[in-house]
Structure 1
Amino acid sequence: MNDDGEFVRVLDEDGVPVDEDAVPDLTDETLLDIYRDMRLTRHFDERAINLQRQGRIGTFAAAAGQEGAQVGSTYALDDDDWILYQYREHGAVVVRDLDADYVSYWMGHESGNAGLADKHVFPLNIAIADHLPHAVGMSWASKLSGDDGVTVAHFGDGATSEGDFHEAMNFAGVFDTPTVFFCNNNGWAISHPVERQTASDTIAVKADAYGMEGVRVDGMDPLACYKVTKEAVDRARDPAEGETRPTLIEAVTYRYGAHTTADDPSAYRDDEEVERWKDRDPIDRFEAFLRRTGRLDDDLDAEIRAGIEDHVAAVIEAASDVETDPTSMFDHTYNDLPPALRRQRAGFLDILDRYGDEAFLRD
C-alpha cells in the first residue's frame, strides 16, 4: 500500500502525542469508552469469524485493524446524526450499541436490521458505493428542513472508483449539503491495491474537484480520526461564511484479515506487509496512551475485557434464539406478489407442511 503524503496525526505509533495541544479535550470516561468500544469491535470480529466457520452465520467482513477509524470518528457525532456504512464498519454500530438484533442479521434474519433505525444507522450496504447518493439525499433533506442534522457515509477506497461516488460528491458540492464522506482506505479493494484504483496522489485530494474540504488522517489513530471528524461535523452543522458544508475524509488504515471470510488474502499480499501494519495497531497505540497518562491499569483493563466478553457472549446467545418464518422471504419483494411468486410461495408452504424442518436437511 502506498501511504505517502502528509496526514493528520495525534498519537505516534507508541501512543505518545505528537503535540499535546492537538489532543482532543475529552473526559477520562469518554477516552475509556473509546478504548472499550475498539476492544469490543475486535472481540466481536473474532467471535463472528468463529461463528462463520461453524456455519452459524454467513459471509462476514472483518473490521480488525480499522477500529480506530470507525470508533474514533463515530464518537465525534451526535446521537441523532445518521450513519450510512458499507459492510465492514462494525465499530460504528458498536458505538451506537451492539445488540442481538445486529448479530441476528448476520445469522440471516432480515428483521435484525430493524433495530438499526432506532440508532440512526442505515442497514448495511453490499453494493459498493450505492449508499452514497442516499447519504447526500438525507443530508440535503436536513438542510431543506432547517434542522442541524449531519449524515456520515463510510466506504472503502474501492468505492471511489464507482460512478455513485462521483454523483454523490458532485451533488454534495453543488448543493452544499451537510455530508461527511468517510473513506476507510485500507489499501485493498479485495485483491486490488489502491494504486490500481486511482491515479490521484491521495483520495483526499479528490475533494478539490468537487469544491469541498479534503482531509487525510492516520486511520490507525483514534484520536486523530475523532479530531478531523469533529471538525468536519462542526463545519457541516454550522458552516462559517464562505465555507462549504461537505467534507471528504481519507483515513489511511489497513485490514489485517481477508476482505471477507470468502477471500484468501495470501493470494495477493504477503505476511510481512500485514505485520508492518500491526506495528501501528490502533488498539495497542491507544492503550499505551491511556496507560502512560494514568487512565488505565491492569485491573481496569481486565475488568473492561471481561465485560466485553460477557456482553458479546450474551448478544450471540440471544441472537441464536431468534426464530423466523422462512416464508418471510416473499413478504417484501413486491407489494402484490405476481402469479409466478404466488405459485412458488404456495409450493414452498406445501413442502413445509409435508416435511417440516426436514425439508432443509441434506444428506
Structure 2
Amino acid sequence: MTDSVVGSEVGVSTIDGGPDLVQLLTPAGERVEHPEYSHYVADLQPEDLRALYRDLVLVRRVDAEATALQRQGELGIWASLLGQEAAQVGSGRAMAPQDYAFPTYREHGVAWCRGVDPLNLLGLFRGVNHGGWDPNEKNFHLYTIVIGAQTLHATGYAMGIQRDHAVGTGEPGRDAAVIAYFGDGATSQGDVNEAFVFAAVQNAPVVFFCQNNQWAISEPSERQTRIPLYKRAAGFGFPGVRVDGNDVLAVYAVTKAALDNARNGNGPTFVEAFTYRMGAHTTSDDPTRYRVSAEVEVWKERDPISRLRAHLVANGMADEDFFNALDAESDELAAHVRQGCLDLPDPKPLDMFEHVYVDEHPLVAQERAEFAEYLESFADAGHEGGH
C-alpha cells in the first residue's frame, strides 16, 4: 500500500503511512529502525516497556467503561480514543514534568499520563463539573471543545514561557516546552494555521501533535488535504515528521525529540501520529454510515496493544503472572470508574456561576442574584401550597 486509497472494496483512506513513516515496532511486535531516522531512539528498559503496556491497557479499559456508561444513560456523550492509545500514551510519557499540554476533548490517555483522575473526565461528560482538575498542578489544560482553538492557546503559552523561563538555557527544571493536541480535521481550521504562523515567526517552544485518525467525523483525509499533513509544516518554516501512531515506542521517541528540540530553543515541530479511530467520533455518531468494515479490519491488525504485548512475550520481558495481575488491576479500575461515576454529586444550580472569571464580575454577580431569586420563588410557592 502507498499514500493512496487501497482499493474500491475498501474505498476510503486506508493507507500505510508512506516511506517517511517512523516506526520502531512493527504490528507483529518486531523492533526495527528506519534507515533515515535512526536518531529516533526509544532507549527503554524492560520495566519501562511493561509500564507503557500497563498504561495502554488501563487507558483502554477506562475508555470502554466510559462508553458503556454513556450507553446506560450515565454520561451525556463520550469521545472514545479506541485505537489511539499509543499516540496518546507515547507522547504523554515523553513529556517532562515542567512541560504543559493543551488537549482537545479526546486526550484521555494524555490525561492519564499527567495524573488526572479518570473520574474528573467522566464528571465533565456527565455534566457535573467543568473538568475538575487543576491545570497548573497537572500541567494539563482543561479540555477544549472548539476545534483547533487550543493551538492558539498553546502557542501563546509557549511564547510566555519562552520569555519567563529563558528557554534554551539548559537549566534543569527551568526549560519547558508545550504540546498541543488536535486531529486531522482541525488542520483545516484557521486557528491552527494562525498558530503555526505565530509559532514559526516567534520560534516558540511548542510541539503540534496531530492525531491523524483518518476521519474528521465523516470526512476522510483525502478530502481534507492533497499532501500528507506533516509536509504542511515546511510551508510555515518548521520541521514535520510522520510517526506510526499505533507504535508507542516510535511515538515516544519522536515526541521526546521534538520536545527536547523545543526546550533547546529550536522552535516548533509538527508531529503527525498516523493512527486510526476504531470507534465512532463520539457516542452520538454512527461510523457505519460513512466507512466500510473492510477498512476497520485492516487497522485491527495494527492494534497498538497487541503489538507491544507480542514484543514483550517474544523477548521474555513479561510472563503470564504479569498479564494476569494487570487484568485484575484493570477490573479494579473499571469498578472504581463505574461506581465513582454513579457517586458523583450533582452540582447545585448556582455553581454554574463559579469560576467563570478569576475575580468577581459585576454582570455575573447580577445574573447569579437574579437566578437565586428565581430559584427562591419555587420554594416560596411550595411553602404557600403552590407547585
By the TM > 0.5 criterion, same fold?
Answer: yes
Cα 1:350/1:238, change in 2 over 3 Å: same
- Confirm or deny: 8 A CA contact 1:212 1:246 kept in the other structure: yes
- CA-CA distance at 1:352 after TM superposition: 6.2
User: Which residue among 208, 212, 222 is the counterpart of 2:238?
Assistant: 212
SS in 2 for 1:245: coil
Cα 1:142/1:333, change in 2 over 3 Å: closer
Report the residue type matching 1:325 in the other structure. K
Distance 1:126 1:286 in 2: 31
SS in 2 for 1:125: coil
Identity, in percent, stands at 41
- CA-CA distance at 1:142 after TM superposition: 1.1
- CA-CA distance at 1:2 after TM superposition: 5.2
Distance 1:28 1:209 in 2: 40
Cα 1:123/1:293, change in 2 over 3 Å: same
Tell me if 1:27 matches 2:54: no
- Confirm or deny: 8 A CA contact 1:330 1:345 kept in the other structure: no
Distance 1:321 1:116 in 2: 24
- CA-CA distance at 1:305 after TM superposition: 1.9
- CA-CA distance at 1:101 after TM superposition: 2.7
Cα 1:331/1:355, change in 2 over 3 Å: farther
Report the residue type matching 1:278 in the other structure. K
Report the residue type matching 1:246 in the other structure. P
Distance 1:10 1:90 in 2: 24
- CA-CA distance at 1:293 after TM superposition: 1.4
- Confirm or deny: 8 A CA contact 2:116 2:133 kept in the other structure: no
- Confirm or deny: 8 A CA contact 2:86 2:251 kept in the other structure: yes
**1:265-296 CA distance string (max 9 Å, x none):** 01100111111101100010111111111111
Tell me if 1:84 matches 2:102: yes
**1:115-160 CA distance string (max 9 Å, x none):** 4442111001110000101101111111101141111111000000
User: Which residue among 141, 160, 180 is the counterpart of 1:141?
Assistant: 160
Partner of 2:10: none
Cα 1:329/1:349, change in 2 over 3 Å: farther
- Confirm or deny: 8 A CA contact 2:65 2:337 kept in the other structure: no
User: Which residue among 49, 63, 72 is the counterpart of 2:67?
Assistant: 49
Partner of 1:280: 302
- CA-CA distance at 1:340 after TM superposition: 6.1
User: Which residue among 331, 337, 342 is the counterpart of 2:354?
Assistant: 331
User: Which residue among 282, 290, 300 is the counterpart of 1:268?
Assistant: 290
Listed as ranges, the gaps of 5+ residues in structure 2 are 1-12, 167-173
Cα 1:35/1:269, change in 2 over 3 Å: same
- CA-CA distance at 1:227 after TM superposition: 0.8
SS in 1 for 2:115: coil
SS in 1 for 2:91: helix
Distance 2:106 2:131 in 1: 16
Listed as ranges, the gaps of 5+ residues in structure 1 are 357-363
Tell me if 1:128 matches 2:147: yes
SS in 2 for 1:231: helix
Matches within 5 A, 1:151-170: 151-170=178-197
Moved more, 339-348 or 6-15: 339-348
User: Which residue among 105, 109, 116 is the counterpart of 2:124?
Assistant: 105
User: Which residue among 252, 257, 260 is the counterpart of 2:279?
Assistant: 257
- CA-CA distance at 1:336 after TM superposition: 2.4
Partner of 2:332: 310
SS in 2 for 1:80: coil
SS in 1 for 2:149: coil
- Confirm or deny: 8 A CA contact 2:98 2:139 kept in the other structure: yes
RMSD across aligned C-alpha pairs, in angstroms? 2.1
Tell me if 1:14 matches 2:14: no
- Confirm or deny: 8 A CA contact 1:68 1:282 kept in the other structure: yes
**1:179-198 CA distance string (max 9 Å, x none):** 00000000000000011112
- CA-CA distance at 1:354 after TM superposition: 5.9
Tell me if 1:75 matches 2:96: no
- Confirm or deny: 8 A CA contact 1:17 1:23 kept in the other structure: no
- Confirm or deny: 8 A CA contact 1:207 1:213 kept in the other structure: yes
Cα 1:352/1:89, change in 2 over 3 Å: farther
- Confirm or deny: 8 A CA contact 1:217 1:250 kept in the other structure: yes
Report the residue type matching 1:219 in the other structure. G
Partner of 2:316: 294
**1:219-254 CA distance string (max 9 Å, x none):** 111101011101101111114xxxx32100001100
- Confirm or deny: 8 A CA contact 2:155 2:204 kept in the other structure: yes
- Confirm or deny: 8 A CA contact 2:131 2:143 kept in the other structure: no
User: Which residue among 255, 261, 264 is the counterpart of 1:229?
Assistant: 255
Distance 2:155 2:322 in 1: 41
**1:24-76 CA distance string (max 9 Å, x none):** 11122221111111111111111001110111111110000000110011111
Moved more, 42-51 or 99-108: 99-108
- CA-CA distance at 1:344 after TM superposition: 3.8
Distance 1:273 1:155 in 2: 23
SS in 1 for 2:363: coil
Moved more, 9-18 or 307-316: 307-316
Report the residue type matching 1:329 in the other structure. M
**1:284-320 CA distance string (max 9 Å, x none):** 0111111111111222111012112212322443343
Cα 1:36/1:344, change in 2 over 3 Å: same
User: Which residue among 235, 238, 243 is the counterpart of 2:264?
Assistant: 238
Cα 1:218/1:348, change in 2 over 3 Å: same
